[in-house]
Structure 1
């Protein structure tokens, strides 16, 4: 498997929108109040031109496998960005790509000066939740910021400070 990681391009918009929507449907979670109905999902390249944001694409032999981004969601605490639109195609799951995309997101976030990452998800997305737990995300009792994704019921936060004892 020869996977490359690169910044999102305009031509990636329809493929990533399809991966995101199919994933949300696959896990049978609400479509309203999620990335499924968020109009920016169809224009990820444009969205990630926002200052303080970045989006990584995982690609193999010209095939997009998924992506993950960071975004300065309105209302988040100072120094915090949101981990957003983190989705892999079904064929790409279970191969360690999720961890590599998370590492890209951490790298991007640190380069942008963020000290923590926040995310929103669903308990039905068990493999994703497990990945977040294993990578130091901790549960929050309520949402932060104003993502507009009011249907999400899992909220997590990770400090990006290096942890030398781990």
Structure 2
């Protein structure tokens, strides 16, 4: 993590973070429909996170984006719950403690925004991601909350903030 910085996304990061997210989803064999792969916002992440109570952070190393994650109000849900969104790391970012630092950055921002809980969706075979979520205090839910449009993600988790 020596030369890595976690910082808010800028417009010039859009193409790189979209490429990182799509390559990770392809690497894990994630369906392209019903997941983040098909999100319209993927090619305009900076613009998608400019509204109030939204934030997206990227990890930059040697002028390259190697990962990112964001926080935003849970879609189609009436309550003070945010969603951890689009947390993906390129292979060179993994196993270095970067995920833990990114999680802290996002959850701190969620608390700053005043959210009471944080929700996320993932896939059952994304083992390292699920380990990070459990380590961060997330617990499993029986069914999804809100309507994120990610119907192919069938692991739902929540954490009290």
* TM surpasses 0.5: yes
Distance (Å, rounded) in 1 between the aligned partners of 2:27 and 2:4: 24
State the SS of the aligned residue for 1:32. coil
C-alpha displacement at 1:61, in angstroms?
2.3
**Count of aligned pairs:** 160
> 1:30, CA displacement in angstroms?
1.2
Unaligned runs of 5+ in 1: 161-166
Other-structure match for 2:105 = 104
Find runs of 4+ consecutive structure 1 residues off by over 6 angstroms. Answer: none
Q: Which ranges of structure 2 fall in alignment gaps of 5 or more residues?
A: none
**Counterpart of 1:13?**
14
For 1:19 and 1:63, the matched residues in 2 are separated by 10
Aligned-residue RMSD, C-alpha: 1.0
Q: Per the alignment, in what secondary structure is the counterpart of residue 150 of structure 1?
A: coil
For each residue in 1:44-95, what CA deviation from the matched residue of structure 2 results, as whole angstroms up to 9, or x when unmatched? Answer: 0010012111011111221211111001132235221000010111111000
Instruction: State the match for 1:41 in structure 2.
Output: 42
Q: Please give the TM-score of this superposition, normalised by the length of structure 2.
A: 0.96
Distance in 2 (CA, whole Å) between partners of 1:87 and 1:76 is: 24
1:72 maps onto 2:94 in alignment: no
State how far apart, in whole Å, the 2-side matches of 1:74 and 1:63 are: 30
- Structure 1: distance between partners of 2:56 and 2:30: 24
Q: Give distance in 1, aligned partners of 2:45 and 2:81.
A: 20
Give the corresponding residue for 1:85.
Answer: 86
Aligned to 1:118: 119
